Structures are given as structure tokens and as C-alpha cells.
């Protein structure tokens, strides 16, 4: 077959499939609605995963180990401890807060508490020691980092300890992270099961839809067989029709997500890790487009292929 004939056949197959798609409008509408529900579930689960992961990241950023040094600790000894900490594979970041910076931050936090500020002024000196804020690469590594200060690395050059206390005070955040992490894992498993259930249901409905289309066009198929039409020419319109179902459902789903994410954007920004789902949807539209359209076309094409192989023997 020369290229010109090939493209002519492709155009005829597409035209025939398109006419069948619009001719059975009630069946088409039902199939598109069913697939839209499936694709909407896929998109919703994708958004849910994004929001939960953003919340998990926010909680992880709030967990840290604060190391308070005695006021007499020398800055070079503290910086030496900081350097030792940064060499640990478990440590992601170490922030050094000097005594002066700690005092300034204390005054800012108690700007409206005149009694506290007055008592601080009466001391005549800075009662606060320097601080190291330590963030681990993983929440499970904080206990080992806290245990680092039981070693000789927390001693000054003369062998005396310079650490006042190690405050792993965000245990509630750590527990929340573990719970949220478990929710995400469970949610992914449940979401996957739901998607499989909806996908199987959609394929079954689409399978019967294409079977009905084959039955309706049985006389035309008989004529094409008599004149020696190729397999592609006979099966092609039904395959194209299935892809059209998936494509239309995908476009409807993408349109539905626009007002939905616009409505939920402010709420998710306030309560779920600072992520605005509407802005995220717009900035990652290409990814969502490929996910939804690809899933729709795959389901439509797969169900059409199975129906054609089962009911259209050539």
C-alpha cells in the first residue's frame, strides 16, 4: 500500500468512527459520563497525594533538635561542634544562632511583655547561650543525632562540657509525621484499589458499548467483507470510537477540575502545607493533561480492542 492510499484509508476510518460516535448519541453520552467518573477519581487521588505529601513536608520541616550551650562556651568550640555535626551523614542542615542573635530574637518574641524586658534589662548581661538548630535528613535519625552529644565531640578543648541541654522537643510533630506517613501509604494502596475497580467497571461498560456498535453496524460490516475490505478498515472505526470516548471524557474531566480547584485553592493553602491546588493545577497542567488524557485514551482503546477481538471475527 502506497502512502497516499494509506492516509486515505486512515481518513475514512476516522470519519466512519466519528460518525458512529455522534450517531449513537445516547450511548455515547452514557459511556463518556462513566469514563468521566473514573478519570475524575484518578485526578482526585492525584491531588490528594500531592496535598498529603505537602503536609508531610511541612511537618518534617518543623521537627528539629535544638542544642543550647552554656553562656561561657567559646564561639570557636561551638563552631567546632557545628562542623562535626555537619560531617554526620544523618544531618541535613545546622544553623548557628549566636548569643546576641538569641537575645535579639528573645526581645522580639516578648516585645509586648514589658515586665520580662524590664527584668532582662536589670540583669545587665546576656543570660542566653548560643544555640544550634539541627535538621536531619529523615525524621527517624533525630534520636541518633541527639545521642551525638553524649560523645566527646560535645566537649570543649579543655575537656569540659559546653552543652547546657539538648532539646528534642518536637516529639508530637514526629508522632504526627509517622501517622501521616502511614496515612499516605494506606491512602496510596486504597486509591490504587479504587482506580482498579473503576477502571475495570469502565472497561466492561465500554466493552459492551463497542459490542452494541458492532451489532448495529453488522450489515455494513458484511458488505465490507464481501468487497474485500482489510482488517484495519473494518476494525479501525470501532477502535477510533473507543479512543474518542476516552478523549471526550478526559477533556470534560480537565474542565471540571478548573472550577473545583479554583474553589478549593484558598482552603488548601491555609490548611495543607501552604499549597494552593488551583495554582498547582495551572502550573502543572501539562502533567495533569498527560495523566488524564493518557488514562482516558488507554481505557477507551483497550476496551475497544478487546471488544473488536471478541466480537468482530474477520
> What pLDDT does residue 16 have?
65
For 156, the grid coordinates are: 570543649
Return the SS3 of 91. Answer: strand
- Grid cell 484509508 is found at 9
Annotate 89-104 with DSSP letters as a single string.
TTEEEEEEE-HHHHHH
Q: What is the mean pLDDT of residues 115-139?
A: 79
Q: What is the mean pLDDT of residues 135-148?
A: 75
Q: Specify which of 48-62, 135-149, 185-199, 278-292 reaches the highest per-range mean pLDDT.
A: 278-292
Q: What would be the CATH architecture of the domain defined by 64-169? A: 2-Layer Sandwich (3.30)
Domain boundary assignment for the chain:
3-59+175-311, 64-169
Q: Specify which of 119-128, 229-238, 239-248 reaches the highest per-range mean pLDDT.
A: 239-248
Reported as a single tens digit per residue, the pLDDT across 172-199 is 555 665 676 677 677 778 878 887 888 7
> What pLDDT does residue 124 have?
74
Annotate 217-263 with DSSP letters as a single string.
THHHHHHHHHTT--HHHHHHHHHHHHHHHHHHHHHHHHHHHHHHHHH
Q: What is the mean pLDDT of residues 222-229?
A: 62
Mean pLDDT of the chain: 76
Amino acid at each position: 500500500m502506497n502512502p497516499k492510499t494509506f492516509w486515505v484509508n486512515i481518513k475514512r476510518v476516522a470519519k466512519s468512527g466519528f460518525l458512529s460516535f455522534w450517531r449513537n448519541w445516547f450511548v455515547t453520552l452514557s459511556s463518556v459520563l462513566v469514563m468521566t467518573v473514573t478519570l475524575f477519581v484518578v485526578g482526585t487521588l492525584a491531588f490528594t497525594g500531592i496535598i498529603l505529601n505537602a503536609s508531610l513536608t511541612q511537618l518534617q520541616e518543623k521537627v528539629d533538635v535544638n542544642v543550647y550551650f552554656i553562656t561561657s562556651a567559646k564561639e570557636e568550640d561551638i563552631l567546632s561542634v557545628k562542623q562535626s555535626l555537619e560531617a554526620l551523614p544523618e544531618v541535613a542542615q545546622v544553623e548557628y544562632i549566636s548569643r546576641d542573635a538569641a537575645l535579639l530574637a528573645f526581645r522580639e518574641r516578648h516585645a509586648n511583655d514589658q515586665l520580662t524586658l524590664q527584668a532582662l534589662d536589670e540583669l545587665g548581661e546576656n543570660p542566653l547561650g548560643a544555640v544550634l538548630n539541627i535538621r536531619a535528613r529523615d525524621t527517624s535519625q533525630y534520636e541518633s543525632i541527639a545521642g551525638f552529644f553524649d560523645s566527646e565531640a560535645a566537649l570543649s578543648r579543655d575537656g569540659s562540657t559546653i552543652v547546657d541541654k539538648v532539646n528534642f522537643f518536637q516529639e508530637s510533630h514526629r508522632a504526627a509525621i509517622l501517622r501521616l506517613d502511614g496515612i499516605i501509604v494506606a491512602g496510596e494502596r486504597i486509591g490504587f484499589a479504587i482506580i482498579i475497580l473503576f477502571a475495570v467497571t469502565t472497561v466492561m461498560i465500554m466493552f459492551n458499548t463497542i459490542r452494541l456498535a458492532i451489532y448495529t453496524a453488522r450489515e455494513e460490516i458484511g458488505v465490507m467483507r464481501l468487497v474485500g475490505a482489510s482488517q484495519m478498515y473494518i476494525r479501525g472505526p470501532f477502535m477510533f470510537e473507543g479512543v474518542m470516548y476516552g478523549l471526550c471524557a478526559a477533556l470534560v474531566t480537565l474542565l471540571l477540575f478548573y472550577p473545583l480547584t479554583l474553589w478549593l485553592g484558598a482552603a488548601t493553602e491555609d490548611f495543607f502545607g501552604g499549597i494552593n491546588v488551583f495554582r498547582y493545577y495551572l502550573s502543572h497542567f501539562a502533567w495533569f493533561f498527560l495523566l488524564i488524557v493518557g488514562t482516558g485514551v488507554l481505557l477507551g482503546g483497550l476496551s475497544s480492542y478487546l471488544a473488536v477481538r471478541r466480537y468482530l471475527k474477520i
